[in-house]
Amino acid sequence: MKIVVLDGYAGNPGDLSWSELKSLGDCVIYDRTEANEVRDRVKDAQVVLTNKVPFTRAQIEALPQLRYIGVLATGYNIVDTVAAAEHGVVVTNVPAYSTASVAQMVFAHLLCVVTPVEIYSQEVRAGRWSRCKDFSYISSPVTELAGKTMGIVGLGRIGKAVAGIALSMGMKVIANTSKQPAELPQGIEKVDLDSLFAMSDVLSLHCPLTPETAGMVNAHRLRLMKPGAILINTGRGQLVVEQDLADALNSGIIAAACLDVLSQEPPEETNPLLEARNCHITPHIAWASNEARARLMQIAVDNVRAFLSGTPQNVVS
């Protein structure tokens, strides 16, 4: 059994071990693979693991020996699952490995805005507190989250985790979700999407990317938001119309945006959000804590082992 990992570096830049995967077969691991290199690298492989390298219908049809594609992520839109099923190729994903890490990043971003510790730390190092006439040096506002409204789009595992943290901090939580009101955890109120935008002091996106949700954060909905509102996106970059968000930030329609994802990654230098006012961007790292990556690798190996034993798990094809 030949196993090929096409782009293993993001999940394991060297601080984790591939030894357990290597024990399952003849294993070749590439840090990165360009689209034009895929066929040559996997032509003899029955099992392929990919994070962001796509598998189209044409690629699947050109690889008759392929029997398994393991996606090293929760989202699996990079694989044509219909074509895979038609050709007897099992496709699996890695669900629920990063819930705690992503929820933590939501509040790392939020607290960076409402309690600007780093700004104050830099100012103290610059001597501004030492030169202050008062015992307390205040230059940037600090905002208390208790009593504010957290709006959440999507109440899957991560959305629920974010809601739980918000409730524990004394925030009111509202959500737009396909779930019925009776299915919601205690303390969460269901509202329609436009009302969510209008009512939220903090709005966090946790819905999947679909034709219906693509571009859901646009000029119309941004104009519904409070001037002091904060938008957080750790979901998918394409949920946001980026020029509309940049315009809203630069004109003061909303107060701040906190983004861990963009529509193109890495972004073009011309992306309008890179220089937008009060726009805080991290490079798609919410998923990437050491603990989450270790879980990802373990589940991915368990998926391969289950497939080889004839009882595949986490199948999405």
pLDDT digits (tens, 9 = 90+) for 133-145: 999 999 999 999 9
Give me the CATH topology for the region 99-281: Rossmann fold (3.40.50)
Annotation says 275 is catalytic: no
Q: Helix or strand or coil: residue 287? A: coil
User: What is the band of 66 on the pLDDT scale with cuts at 50, 70, 90?
Assistant: very high
Residues 11, 14, 15, 19, CA torsion sign: positive
Check 221, 236, 293, 295 and give the catalytic one: 236
Asked if 265 is an active-site residue, the reply is yes
Choose, from 87, 280, 284, 305, the residue flagged as catalytic: 284
**What ranges make up the beta strands (E) of 131-260?**
149-153, 172-176, 188-190, 202-205, 230-233, 256-259
Sorted by where each begins, the domain ranges of the chain are 2-97+290-308, 99-281
User: Does the fold of domain 99-281 match that of domain 2-97+290-308?
Assistant: yes
Tell me the mean pLDDT in the region 292-313. 98
> What does the alpha-carbon distance between residue 297 and residue 300 come to, in Å, rounded to a whole number?
5
Pair of tokens at residue 171:
């925030």
CATH architecture of 2-97+290-308: 3-Layer(aba) Sandwich (3.40)
Catalytic residue among 34, 61, 265, 268: 265
Helix (H) or strand (E) holding 245: helix 242-250
CA distance 37 to 223: 45
Whole-prediction pTM: 0.93
87 counts as catalytic: no
Express as a percent the part of the chain with pLDDT over 70. Answer: 100
Q: Tokens at residue 164, please?
A: 């739980």
